[in-house]
Amino acid sequence: MMFKFYIWVMGWSGKINTWAWNKQVDIVRSNQRKEEEDYLKELKKETVKKSDKYDYYEGKQITDPDTGKRVYEINSYRLPSVTTILGATKNQEFLKEWKAKVGEIEAERIKNVSSARGTSMHKYLESFITNVGYDDLTELGQAAKPMAEKIIEVGLTPVEEWYGSEVTLYYPGLYAGSTDLVCLHNGRETIVDFKQANRPKKKEWIEDYFLQCSAYANAHNVMYGTNINQIVILMVDRNQEFKKFIAKDREFDHYTNKWKQRLIKFHNKGDK
């Protein structure tokens, strides 16, 4: 009888110990979250200031019912998006080979996961910059949060002030798009783009990212009479490995010329 009583007491003791341990873990995690939030708030006060230098246009993005493609309604005109133009004019061989290797179903799954994680990461970054609260409690949202925090901690440090977040830009009659950030970066007005990746990427692999940003920069220059010739791409992978890529001056001009070639190709094809 005493032995059974001992087992019964020890069983309850084990449950109590487990409960106490789990409670302690929850407290530690809660304290860590608060410390992270406090740190990011202080970091924001020190590094990101809003400037109303430019009065940005609010464009409307829609799906064209005739083509199913993303377009922007600008002053009663519909303009193709920058990403639509790049997608229609890029070499698709690598993508085809990758899909053949992993299979159509797995390729679609990877694409959807990557897209959802990237959307969440962008929302975290936009909310940080604009000082609007945001959290995503989904599994992908919680995976995206430390990725966004890495960009905030490292990538946004050189930003002295920002002019616009998720800014609609268009080149009259040719194209439109939405850039992640227009800001003063190390003393130069700059187009900044946030990118997430499944694994680290080399600069030579991401040419279309530079073409995308050069399109935004040239549209900004036409709309607001600026001379932006610097692009900064802030990239972080799912393991929080951070990379910064910069193109400016002559290299910026090189990407601008390549973007113009892709734009001409798109309009010659009639993919409008």
Between CA 153 and CA 203, with CA 190 as vertex, the angle to 5 degrees is 70
pLDDT the model gives residue 65: 79
pTM for the model? 0.80
pLDDT the model gives residue 7: 39
The structure tokens listed for 105 are 């179903």
- The ranges of the chain with pLDDT < 50 are 3, 5-10, 16
pLDDT the model gives residue 5: 41
| Cα–Cα separations (whole angstroms), residue 12 to 2, 17, 20 | 15, 9, 12
pLDDT the model gives residue 15: 52
Kindly report, residue by residue over 8-22, the tens digit of the pLDDT. 444 555 554 566 566
pLDDT the model gives residue 207: 96
Phi (first) and psi of residue 128, to 5 degrees: -65, -45
